[in-house]
Structure formats: structure tokens, C-alpha cells
């Protein structure tokens, strides 16, 4: 796989999944990603991560909502589903280096298997990593009976890795043998995001901090593919008044919900600005002009909206 060198200043990005409308927490993360890219002289890209969980019309609505609050991108929107050849080429490179193996485990078996010491719940314990030829043949036969293909996993070279995050500082997390391609033939998120970021020259990744512990495993995969890991900046999640991750079930939490209740895009942007200690913001450009990243609150943003 040939990867073009990134521009001198690199690029940032926002990469939503088109599974529904963006809620205020999603929009806040997008604003921060856009601002941090612009503030550092980087280009800004938009990528639609549509390998699964696609809701018809969601992509167009998401792009319209981002434009409504002033978020603009440099270059065309990239769709992950159109990059299958690049993803498969990356898997082939890893396989040629002896870093890929077939996995015949079901999700239930993985969850019920004893984990390695200090590994998070659900981390892959390496069950299929060093099987004999006979055991592999038995595994393939079992997959055939289940009408599934074996998943492909990375033979990770480390058990843990430390990355530096702009806001969280040094972050150390376990690195397991992550899935590269699922049993249903769909390329896994961790592989796709690493390849897509590298190919687009993305060297700054801003996203919600529920993905913080994914950064070390993605950084390790990037290194194995010959890429320099990006600069990470994980920002606090938006939560409902009960402290649970914000979701559409929490009521009128999307831009379109708020517009239907008589608010404007500027009013919604004002809420996001207030969450950053910036009263009076009406567009993302206002945040760009006034926000100091050093003042980012470290606690989750509690979103409590009128019905």
C-alpha cells in the first residue's frame, strides 16, 4: 500500500457514522475537531464511517447540520464504504508479514473466556493465535457449519502501549489481537480508521473520550503499517442529567429537534459555546476566535434541555 506523505501541516477530521441525526454532543465534538485543526493550521476533512449501521438519509442530514453551525471541510467527503480496496491491501500487507491469523471464536466464547491479567473485559485472550494445523482445520469446518467465515485478527506485538493525549496526558491501555475483518466479511473499525486516517494525511484525531483506550491499539496498528500515529485529543462525552451517555431517547437533543421547537442553529451553537465557558457564540467561527483549549472542562458535559 502506497501512502502519500501528509501535507506539512497535516490535517484533522470529523468522522461520524450515519446511523441517525447528530445530537448536541456529536456537534460539540465536531466543533472542537474543526477548531483545533484550524487553530493549528491543519486542513480539515470529513469522513462518513458507513461500513455498517447506516440509516437512509442520515449522511445528508448530518452534513447539512454541520454546515448549519459553520463547519466547513477542505476537499470532498470520504465514505469508508468506498475504500474497500485500500482496507484489503492493508490486511494483505499485514498477512505477508505474518501478522494475521484466523479466529474461529464466537462473541459469546470470547466474553466467557478467562482474560489475561490486567486486560479489560472482552479483550481477546488469544485463543486461536497459535493453533495447530489440525485445530485450524477443525475451526474452519465449524465456521462452515455455522455458515460464517473466520474472522481475521492482528497478531499484536505488544500487550500494552502508552500514547500521549492532548487533554488526558499519558494514556496506557491494553493492546489485544484486534479484529481486522469480521466473520461477516466487513472490515473492522480499528483497521479502517487507521488506514483512512493515514491515506488522508490525518495527523490530529479529535473525538469523544469513550474511545480513549482505543488509541493505543490503533497507534500500534498504525506503526505496524508503517505510519506515524496521529496526535490524539479526546474530549469529554455529553451525558444526560442522570449521567448516562447522551442519546436520542433523551428527548429533543438533535439540532433538528431544537429547530422544530423554535430555536435556531445559532441558539444551539450558543449552548455548545456555554459548555466551553464562551457565552454569546453563534457559529463555530466564534469558538475558533475565542476558545482557549487549555480551558476545556475535563468532566462530561451534562445536557439538560427544555422539552
What's the farthest any 2 CA atoms get from each other in the chain?
A: 67
Query: Which DSSP helix (H) or strand (E) runs through 144?
Result: helix 133-145
Whether residue 5 has pLDDT greater than 60: no
- Taking residues 153-182, report their average pLDDT: 96
Give tens-digit pLDDT for 55-71. 999 999 999 999 999 99
The answer for residues whose C-beta is within 8 angstroms of residue 193's C-beta and 6 or more apart is 15, 49, 218
- Taking residues 105-110, report their average pLDDT: 87
Q: Is 75 left (phi over 0), alpha (psi -120 to 50) or beta?
A: left
Whether residue 98 has pLDDT greater than 80: yes
Confidence of residue 6 (pLDDT cuts 50, 70, 90): very low
Give tens-digit pLDDT for 35-53. 999 999 999 999 999 998 8
What does the CA dihedral 118, 123, 127, 130 come to, rounded to 10 degrees?
-80
- Taking residues 106-129, report their average pLDDT: 79
Q: How far apart are CA 158 and CA 175, in angstroms?
A: 7
Burial of residue 82 (number of CB atoms within 10 Å: 0-12, 13-18, 19+): exposed
Number of H helices, E strands in the chain: 10, 12
The pLDDT value given to residue 117: 58
The pLDDT value given to residue 1: 25
The answer for residues whose C-beta is within 8 angstroms of residue 255's C-beta and 6 or more apart is 21, 22, 24, 27, 65, 68, 69, 265, 268
- Taking residues 113-136, report their average pLDDT: 82
Closest CA to 244 of 296, 185, 304, 189: 304
Confidence of residue 306 (pLDDT cuts 50, 70, 90): confident
Give tens-digit pLDDT for 254-292. 999 999 999 999 999 999 999 999 999 999 999 999 999
Q: What distance lies between CA 209 and its chain's CA centroid? A: 10
The pLDDT value given to residue 2: 28
Give tens-digit pLDDT for 214-253. 999 999 999 999 999 999 999 999 999 999 999 988 889 9
Query: Which DSSP helix (H) or strand (E) runs through 218?
Result: helix 215-224
The pLDDT value given to residue 113: 80
Q: How far apart are CA 235 and CA 27, in angstroms?
A: 12
Average confidence score pLDDT of the chain: 93
The domains of the chain, with CATH numbers, are 11-81+236-302 (3.40.50.620), 83-204+214-230 (3.40.50.620)
pTM: 0.92
Query: Which DSSP helix (H) or strand (E) runs through 101?
Result: strand 100-103
Report the SS3 class of residue 301.
strand
Whether residue 119 has pLDDT greater than 70: no
Amino acid at each position: 500500500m502506497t501512502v502519500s506523505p501528509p501535507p506539512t501541516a497535516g490535517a484533522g477530521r470529523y468522522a461520524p457514522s450515519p446511523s441517525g441525526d447528530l445530537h448536541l454532543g456529536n456537534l460539540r465534538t465536531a466543533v472542537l475537531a474543526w477548531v483545533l485543526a484550524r487553530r493549528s493550521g491543519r486542513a480539515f476533512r470529513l469522513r462518513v464511517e458507513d461500513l455498517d449501521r447506516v440509516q437512509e438519509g442520515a449522511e445528508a442530514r448530518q452534513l447539512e447540520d454541520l454546515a448549519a453551525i459553520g463547519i466547513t471541510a477542505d476537499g470532498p467527503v470520504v465514505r469508508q464504504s468506498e475504500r474497500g480496496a485500500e482496507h484489503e491491501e492493508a490486511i494483505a500487507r499485514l498477512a505477508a508479514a505474518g501478522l494475521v491469523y484466523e479466529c474461529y471464536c464466537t462473541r459469546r466464547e470470547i466474553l466467557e473466556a478467562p482474560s489475561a491479567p490486567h486486560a479489560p473485559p472482552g479483550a481477546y485472550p488469544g485463543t486461536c493465535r497459535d493453533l495447530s494445523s489440525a485445530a485450524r482445520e477443525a475451526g474452519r469446518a465449524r465456521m462452515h457449519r455455522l455458515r460464517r467465515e473466520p474472522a481475521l485478527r492482528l497478531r499484536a506485538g505488544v500487550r500494552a502501549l502508552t500514547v500521549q493525549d492532548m487533554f488526558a496526558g499519558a494514556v496506557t491501555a491494553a493492546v489485544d489481537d484486534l479484529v481486522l475483518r469480521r466473520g461477516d466479511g466487513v472490515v473492522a473499525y480499528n483497521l479502517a480508521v487507521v488506514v483512512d486516517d493515514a491515506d488522508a494525511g490525518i495527523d490530529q484525531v479529535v473525538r469523544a473520550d469513550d474511545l480513549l483506550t482505543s488509541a493505543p491499539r490503533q497507534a500500534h496498528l498504525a506503526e505496524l503499517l508503517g505510519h506515524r500515529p496521529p496526535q490524539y485529543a479526546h474530549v469529554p462525552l455529553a451525558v444526560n442529567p442522570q449521567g448516562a451517555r447522551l442519546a436520542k431517547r433523551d428527548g429533543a437533543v438533535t439540532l433538528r429537534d431544537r429547530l422544530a421547537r423554535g430555536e435556531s442553529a445559532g441558539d444551539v451553537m450558543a449552548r455548545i459555546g456555554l459548555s466551553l465557558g464562551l457565552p454569546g457564540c453563534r457559529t463555530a467561527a466564534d469558538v475558533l476566535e475565542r476558545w482557549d483549549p487549555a480551558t476545556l472542562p475535563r468532566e462530561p458535559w451534562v445536557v439538560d434541555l427544555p422539552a
